[in-house]
Structure 1
Amino acid sequence: MDYTGRELFFDKNDLIVSKTDTQGKLTYTNDIFLEIAGYTEAEVMGKPHNVIRNPNMPRAIFDLLWKTISAGEEIFAYVVNSAKNGDHYWVIAHVTPSRENGEIIGYHSTRRVPNHQVIRDVIEPLYDQLRALEQSATNRKAGLEKSMGALRDMLSNKGQSYNEFISDLMRG
């Protein structure tokens, strides 16, 4: 896919919704997901959710996301996604485990319009730093470790968990 550098926007009243199985394969998408991402339902059902992954998204954030939801906890995160045509769009995602008889059977994600000033002032500089650390390492594993270390240090310095950090940003 060629990335265009063009940003897409969606209405502040819209919710992008998707569900996956425990392996991250899409089992449900709402019409708004399909509209903004530019896919048909047939193109995405059963495919990995990362079909919309943007290369500017640090691996450390997704690593934290997957560890959190796999442990049965919810997470909020600013995420930049890619549409099928290479455009991108930002969301604030709320991802929760879906359970049946107490067992995690998949994940549910609801995304809303994010605060673009927070993205410019906080998220993009942080993500640029994390990606630079990931790319500076001699291999992917070492890059992820460096990036996760920087994220943990930043949160430790703030005395916050990741969700507390994001929650503060969402409040403005």
Structure 2
Amino acid sequence: MSKPEPTDVEHEVKSVDLIVSKSDEEGNITYVNPIFIKISGYSQASLLEKPHAILRHPDMPKVIFKYLWKNIKEGNDVVAYVKNLCADGGFYWVLATVKMAKNPDGSFRNYMSTRRCITQSAKQTISDLYAEWLSIEKSEGQEAAEAAFNSYLADNGITDSSSFNEYMKNINK
């Protein structure tokens, strides 16, 4: 499946919407709820067994996903803002909470992501921040973007995934 050409059409995520998906260890989608299908515009069949990255909007800096995957693979929950690409080229912003689910014996079961709407204020703050990191990524490379990201974390007293998550949640107020 090829990615659609991005447009400036934003799809609304309402305060009552809860978007849910599950994926395997490689990030391939194994479950999506009906609201996920409705907002993204993809059919269930076109999403299942596909990498979550098919929804990645080109405005998203890679450093966010690198941080997310590093932490969830270590068993840490991550709360982060994500701009996703819809089937029609539109987009939607969400505050995603991604967790690793384990079986009773402690073995890996799946990754689960729940996503909610974000405030206009959070959208503006995060859009500007992500644009800055993406610009660095494009002009100076991935390493420079990671350095800028890590500098931002340090400047804001964010020392671990727990403080990162709280910081992200507080932006959405």
TM-score (structure 2 length as normaliser)? 0.91
Report if the CA contact (8 A) 1:53-1:82 is conserved: yes
Supply the distance in 2 between the matched residues of 1:85 and 1:38 (Cα, whole angstroms).
7
Question: Quick check: 159-168 or 92-101, which moved more?
Answer: 159-168
1:76-110 deviation line (CA, Å, top 9, x unaligned): 00100010010000000000001112122320000
The equivalent of 1:163 in structure 2 is: 165
Report if the CA contact (8 A) 2:28-2:51 is conserved: yes
Supply the distance in 2 between the matched residues of 1:85 and 1:118 (Cα, whole angstroms).
24
- Provide structure 2 residue ranges, at least 5 long, that are not aligned to the other structure: none
SS in 2 for 1:64: helix
Report if the CA contact (8 A) 2:72-2:78 is conserved: yes
Supply the distance in 1 between the matched residues of 2:6 and 2:12 (Cα, whole angstroms).
16
Equivalent position amino acid for 2:41 in 1: G
Supply the distance in 1 between the matched residues of 2:108 and 2:43 (Cα, whole angstroms).
27
The equivalent of 1:106 in structure 2 is: 110
Identity %: 38
Supply the distance in 1 between the matched residues of 2:97 and 2:84 (Cα, whole angstroms).
14
Q: Residues 146-157 of structure 1: matches in 2 within 5 Å?
A: 146-157=144-155
The equivalent of 1:119 in structure 2 is: 123
Supply the distance in 1 between the matched residues of 2:45 and 2:123 (Cα, whole angstroms).
32
| Superposed displacement of residue 118, structure 1 | 1.5
The equivalent of 1:144 in structure 2 is: 142
4+ runs of 1 displaced by more than 6 Å? none
SS in 1 for 2:54: helix
| Superposed displacement of residue 17, structure 1 | 0.3
Supply the distance in 2 between the matched residues of 1:31 and 1:24 (Cα, whole angstroms).
19
Supply the distance in 1 between the matched residues of 2:87 and 2:8 (Cα, whole angstroms).
13
| Superposed displacement of residue 111, structure 1 | 0.2
